[in-house]
Amino acid sequence: MDKYRKLSDAELLILLRSGDESAFTEIYTRFSAVLYLHARHMLHNRDDARDVIQEVFTSIWNRRLDLDLTTSLNGYLYRSVRNKVLNLIRTEKRDSVYLTEIGEALERGEYSTDEQVNYNELKRLIELEVSLLPARMREVFELSRNQQLSHAEIAALLDISDLTVKKQINKAIHILRERLDIPATLLFLYLNQK
């Protein structure tokens, strides 16, 4: 690997185009940390920044045979990160507008058939995923969600600490977000309907 550290970006790119995994690893090692900081600065979110970096490098590997850069590798990587971040921000804004519209319609009791179908499908998917949570986590989550008990009430009922209740609920929400691949705001909207 030492020999790869001494290569220029252009030389690494030539090797990458031939499918050289070590060249890819060196490119990743050379640029991933600074690109991550760049993405995190733009997004203010560690997980999203990690996802952006993973997508950029996955794309580079998948397109390695066709990569024809008109700029430096460094410039290309920064531009790729910036574009992914902007796409993510646009998607989140679109989701936010959609969620606001659905939330307002639900509050007014006015919603279209499409909105009702989407909401019912989301509800069904969330309930299915909740049923797949570990037993104790599911119990804590359902006491909080369905019976609207406070952390202290759940802790007393189950003879566990308030902190354990809080951790179980947070972990359940994290698992649901990952499994359902939905924005936190959409999950929050659903969780606050009852």
**Between 170 and 94, whose confidence is greater?**
170
CA 45 to each of CA 34, 40, 168: distance values in angstroms, whole numbers, following the listed order: 15, 6, 22
Amino acid at 42: M
Examine the domain organization and report whether 184 and 129 are in the same domain.
Answer: yes
Instruction: Quote the pTM value.
Output: 0.50
Burial environment of residue 61 by CB neighbours within 10 A (0 to 12, 13 to 18, 19 or more): middle
By residue count, the chain amounts to 194
Would 154 be classed as within a structural domain?
A: yes
**Cα torsion angle, 96, 57, 37, 82, sign:** negative
Q: Is the pLDDT of residue 185 over 70?
A: no
Q: Is the pLDDT of residue 142 over 60?
A: yes
Q: In this structure, what CATH number is given to the domain that contains residue 45?
A: 1.10.1740.10
Question: What number of other Cβ atoms are within 10 A of residue 163's Cβ?
Answer: 10
Task: Say how many domains are in the chain.
Answer: 2
**Between 188 and 39, whose confidence is greater?**
39
Q: Quote the tokens at residue 185.
A: 């705001």
Question: Crossing angle for the helix pair 113-131 and 162-180, nearest 10 degrees?
Answer: 120
Examine the domain organization and report whether 122 and 80 are in the same domain.
Answer: no
- DSSP letter for 118, please: H
Would 103 be classed as within a structural domain?
A: no
Q: Is the pLDDT of residue 96 over 70?
A: no
Examine the domain organization and report whether 18 and 87 are in the same domain.
Answer: yes
Contact present, 140 and 172 (Cβ < 8 Å): yes
Examine the domain organization and report whether 116 and 40 are in the same domain.
Answer: no
Examine the domain organization and report whether 79 and 9 are in the same domain.
Answer: yes
Lowest mean pLDDT among 26-30, 108-112, 124-128: 108-112
Examine the domain organization and report whether 85 and 9 are in the same domain.
Answer: yes
Give the chain's largest Cα–Cα span. Answer: 66
Nearest to 73 by CA among 43, 42, 32: 32
The residue from 62, 91, 120 where one domain ends is 91
Would 107 be classed as within a structural domain?
A: no
Contact present, 25 and 62 (Cβ < 8 Å): no
Examine the domain organization and report whether 83 and 154 are in the same domain.
Answer: no
Percentage with pLDDT > 90 across the chain: 28
Examine the domain organization and report whether 78 and 149 are in the same domain.
Answer: no
The residue from 91, 125, 157 where one domain ends is 91
Structural domain range at position 36: 2-91
Q: In this structure, what CATH number is given to the domain that contains residue 140?
A: 1.10.10.10
Examine the domain organization and report whether 87 and 6 are in the same domain.
Answer: yes
CA angle 113, 115, 116 (to 5 degrees): 65
Could you read off the pLDDT of 36-91 as tens digits, one per residue? 998 888 888 888 889 999 999 999 999 998 887 777 888 889 889 988 888 877 76
